[in-house]
Amino acid sequence: MSHELQYLLETKRLVWLVAVVFALFMMFQYFEFPYGDVVSSLFSASKAQILETESYPPEASSQLPPILRNITRFDSSNYTKPAGILEKDNRTIYKENDVGSGNFESERNANLDEFTETGDDVSGEGVEEVEKAEVLAPEKAREPGGDFLTSNLSNSSSVQDFEEPAGSQKIPVPSDNKSSVNEVPPVKGRHEKPMGEVVTILEMHDMLVHNRASTRSMKPRWSSAVDQELLDAKLQIENAPAIDNDPTLYPSVYVNVSRFKRSYELMEKILKVYIYKEGEKPIFHQPQAVLKGIYASEGWFMKHMKASKHFVTKKPKQAHLFYIPFSSRMLEEKLYVPGSHNHKNLVQYLKNYLDLVVGRYNFWNRTGGSDHFLVACHDWAASETKKHMDTCIRALCNSDVKKEGFKLGKDVALPETFVRSAKDPLREFGGKPPSQRSTLAFFAGQMHGDFRPVLLQHWENKDPDMKIFGKLPKSKNNKNYVQYMKSSKYCICAKGYEVNSPRVVEAIFYECVPVIISDNFVPPFFEILNWESFAVFVQEKDIANLKNILVSISQKRYLVMQERVKQVQQHFLWHVKPVKYDIFHMILHSIWYNRVFRINPR
């Protein structure tokens, strides 16, 4: 590029930038957005906004009133962590006393005995994230291409693939072993790629687009008729006709409703899934064991998948996808040695299984595993499958865009659902109409992880509009918790040890607008749903502004969002018998969609 041209371009960009800044400023004045240092935060955010306007799918953002579009973007560059957030320099946070706690036991029993009601042991969430392990990036080393947030998205070559570079360096395991909190899980052998502090939802959209364009699955070793079918499907989805009023699909909640509809129809029409028969119960093939509690998604999925006459084929040659039917919950339940702080044996168990089927059949070898998938909701599943199953499509509740090799465009964010009754997963469904939602914001839960104590420090007993609690006292069928969800405008979904929380789906279930405070969390069905149209994303650093952010959302806007929450509800419901567009079909669809868009035919 010549200097003149470059100069010209930069001048143009500058003019544009000034215009945008001015427009923003006027808008801020207009809405009286409650941020003190408006001008300086505008300047710090303006660069990112240029990139975002260029690459973000137009439909998604144009649907939002301007004031909300940028809420996730406030980036006071000077932010210092509030006291209480531990620097993430120690490798593992593992709360020994959570394992085998009373809660854990009751959850365990609840899961095993599907027809007993959980009763009331679960104030707030009950047992969410009990005995979870968190592996933290040990240092914020810079690698080329690693600084994603500040890198130049429009120049795709400046952004590395999110594939881990081969042979990235090993992290020395700390020799200090006096602390009881360390050493689970030990699989952390490589650098997590540092990509700046927080990946916002908009940046995730960019990453997804980028990954789709730049990474494909392995070319098959030999061709098969199914490859051509997938390729045809891809073309048809890309050329989807504009949708003609489907009364069940509300365009504003989707990234692109036409594509989604076409893709869904094609899935129904052609998708065949082969389920491996190998594997012993209860870790494999026993969904009944996990139909309740916070890991229920994997159990329900397996149950419906195995029972599906429509999608399952016994002829692997016809299969577009191969399902590895294990439960990460049962794996932990059966093999984890309490107190061992080590899940090597769990990883090994999965590897042995894989070796078995890889040696016995050539399905895996044809595509290097890229047409295989797993569905796993336990926190550890991400790290357990990271090494040997990283080529598969992994549907994971623990969908942290910066951890455990989660790859947007390949892996799928699995909704974490807290099923309270296996007989009636829709029990207590719904909530009060907006006019009767008297509480502004609600949260209750145990102090898992570093962030929740900070949330409480800021908001517990600080403001009558903010009902922010620790664990609620026991009540029958968790009545208090459910009542709050049904009668609050906003439900705070704060991260626990990991990014995911059953609250996101719970909020939707009870028709409460979710407020997701969990940096780097990839929300479920991210490829399909326009999350910002019905949920609020607040960065962890903005916790002190939580109330301001919420009250700055106009009543009109709130009503729109609440209506949309109801419009997406159908996608988050388990039914005893699956129905069209329900959560089972949506999970399968996201897996299908990612397979279709990564197809790389011979």
Ligand X SMILES: *[C@@H]1O[C@H](CO)[C@@H](O)[C@H](O)[C@H]1NC(C)=O
From the CB of 256, what's the least distance to ligand X, in Å?
4
Closer residue to ligand X, CB minimum distance, 240 or 312: 240
Least separation in angstroms between CB 348 and ligand X: 17
CA distance 407 to 400: 9
Residue the block writes with tokens 């569905």: 375
Q: How far is the CB of 251 from ligand X (least distance, A)?
A: 9
Cα angle for residues 523, 407, 195 (degrees, 5° grid): 90
CB neighbour list of residue 134: distance below 8 Å, 6 or more residues apart: 92, 93, 94, 379, 449, 497, 498
> What is the distance between the alpha carbons of residues 217 and 211, in angstroms, rounded to a whole number?
11
Nearer to ligand X, 29 or 438 (CB): 29
Contact in structure between 274 and 308 (CB atoms under 8 Å): no
Q: Compute the least distance from the CB of residue 309 to ligand X, in Å.
A: 28
Residue with smaller CB distance to ligand X, 55 or 483: 55
The smaller minimum CB distance to ligand X, of residues 97 and 177, is found at 177
Closest by Cα among 159, 143, 146, 147 to 55 = 159
Residue 70 or 501 having the CB closest to ligand X: 70
Distance CA 117, CA 502 (A): 18
Query: Which residue's CB is nearer to ligand X, number 179 or number 548?
Result: 179
Does residue 280 sit in helix, strand or coil?
A: coil
Whether 441 contacts 462, CB under 8 Å:
no
Chain centroid to CA 272: how far? Answer: 25
Closest separation between CB of residue 324 and ligand X, Å?
16
Residue 592 CB, nearest approach to ligand X (Å): 17
Cα distance between residue 535 and residue 564, in whole Å: 9
**Largest interatomic CA distance in the chain:** 74
- Please state the closest distance from residue 322 (CB atom) to ligand X, in A: 13
Residue 516 host element (H or E): strand 513-517
The smaller minimum CB distance to ligand X, of residues 41 and 383, is found at: 41
CB of 1 to ligand X, least distance (A): 7
Backbone angles phi, psi at 467, to 5 degrees: -95, 85
Q: By C-alpha distance, which of 567, 501, 509, 513 is closest to 537?
A: 513
Rounded least distance, CB 556 to ligand X, Å: 16
Whichever of 354 and 573 has its CB closer to ligand X, that residue is 354
Question: Is cis: bond before 524, omega within 30 of 0?
Answer: no
Nearer to ligand X, 505 or 543 (CB): 543
Instruction: Please check whether residue 451 is in contact with residue 443, taking contact to mean a CB–CB distance below 8 angstroms.
Output: no
Phi and psi at 577, nearest 5°, equal -115, 125
Cβ nearer to ligand X, comparing 89 with 246: 89
CB 586 within 8 A of CB 529: no
The residue (of 488 and 594) whose beta carbon lies closer to ligand X is: 594
Task: Give the footprint of ligand X on this chain (CB under 6 A).
Answer: 23-24, 27, 37, 40, 47, 49, 52-53, 57, 59, 61, 66-67, 69-70, 76-78, 86, 89-90, 93, 152, 155, 157-158, 177-179, 181, 238, 240, 256, 258-259, 358-359, 361-362, 365
Closest-CA residue to 207 (of 401, 398, 371): 401
Smallest distance, ligand X to C-beta of residue 302, A: 25
Least distance from C-beta 54 to ligand X, angstroms? 9
Buried b / exposed e along 169-208 (16+ C-beta atoms within 10 A)? eebeeeeeeeeeebbbbbbbebbbbbbebbbbbbbbbbbb
Alpha-carbon Rg for the chain, nearest whole angstrom, is 23
In angstroms, give the least distance from the CB of 199 to ligand X: 17
Q: Which is nearer to ligand X, 24 or 302 (CB)?
A: 24
